[in-house]
Amino acid sequence: MTWSRFFDAFEPMHALVVEADGQRLGLAHYLFQRSTMRIEPSCYLQDLFTVAAAR
């Protein structure tokens, strides 16, 4: 279900992958959610993974 949400244009959930020289170095999952303190949605970083050598 999670992966289908990343590819659904109507879902506020997204994923990013960082690559360099053909190697995957990192992955981030983020989503936009409503806030009681702001009119516009807030960006929430759900997961952040990086290989040790890229930190």
Predicted structure pTM score: 0.74
Cβ(15)–Cβ(27) below 8 Å: yes
Write the pLDDT tens digit of every residue in 1-51: 888 888 888 888 899 999 999 999 999 999 999 989 999 999 999 999 999
Q: Which of 9, 28, 6, 8 is nearest to 17 (CA)?
A: 28
Question: What is the per-residue pLDDT for 19?
Answer: 96
